[in-house]
Structure 1
């Protein structure tokens, strides 16, 4: 299978750089698949599971919002956060979910409301990923 270069960088630093055979990005209305030779495009990434394959081995990463620059030979992924689902602290994610739900129940400005909704979405995504990928 043809390969392309993949670089995944989160706000905390570079997460992965190397060969890739197949890449599936989470986007707002589903997923977006990429293989070597793909036409150039910019893709908006929505928080979710990014899936890629290296030498026949599948890897999954929970990523935050971001963008991907796709060319025929490489893909550059820039995201807010990136973590392996099996590394998620389920108790910490549950506590974040509870805090976000409590904040949503209080009167707040529109900005605070949207920040609380984002925090709740992130906590729920982390909990779902942890539950699905926990071994």
Structure 2
């Protein structure tokens, strides 16, 4: 009897590998929609939104806050290259909450000054902070 196929997932950032695991089911949020990947899924290359990556293995589920990037999947190997990523247990919630407050203030300032470039940067910073907080609190 053949062995059950498994997924191999690796998340890397410019600072190095953040996560590596083998398991059953990967969930990512692409720029189009959430996507679930099971073993033997068709090849995929897609950009990722600022959101959590969930990976099920050995009856557990890992959550990783991913800040953009892309996923490449083929031959049961998923590689996620992200601007930054943090495992659920590594997230400093108070630091993320401080970043959220700074981003909110920056958004208000950019709106008052009618500065679309700073507004866009502040909105991305806010999404990243909220993502980190949400992943940490699951």
So what's the TM-score if we normalise by structure 2?
0.84
Segments of structure 1 that go 5 or more residues without pairing to the other structure are none
- SS of the counterpart of 1:77? strand
- SS of the counterpart of 1:105? helix
For 1:108 and 1:13, the matched residues in 2 are separated by: 38
CA contact (8 A) 2:96 2:132 kept: yes
Number of equivalenced pairs: 132
User: Shift of the alpha carbon at 1:130?
Assistant: 2.5
Which residue in 2 is equivalent to 1:118?
124
CA RMSD of aligned residues (A): 1.8
For 2:94 and 2:34, the matched residues in 1 are separated by: 28
Which residue in 2 is equivalent to 1:49?
52
For 1:86 and 1:55, the matched residues in 2 are separated by: 18
Segments of structure 2 that go 5 or more residues without pairing to the other structure are none
Which residue in 1 is equivalent to 2:115?
109
Matches within 5 A, 1:1-135: 1-106=4-109, 107-131=113-137, 133=138
- SS of the counterpart of 1:37? coil
For 2:120 and 2:50, the matched residues in 1 are separated by: 15
So what's the TM-score if we normalise by structure 1?
0.85
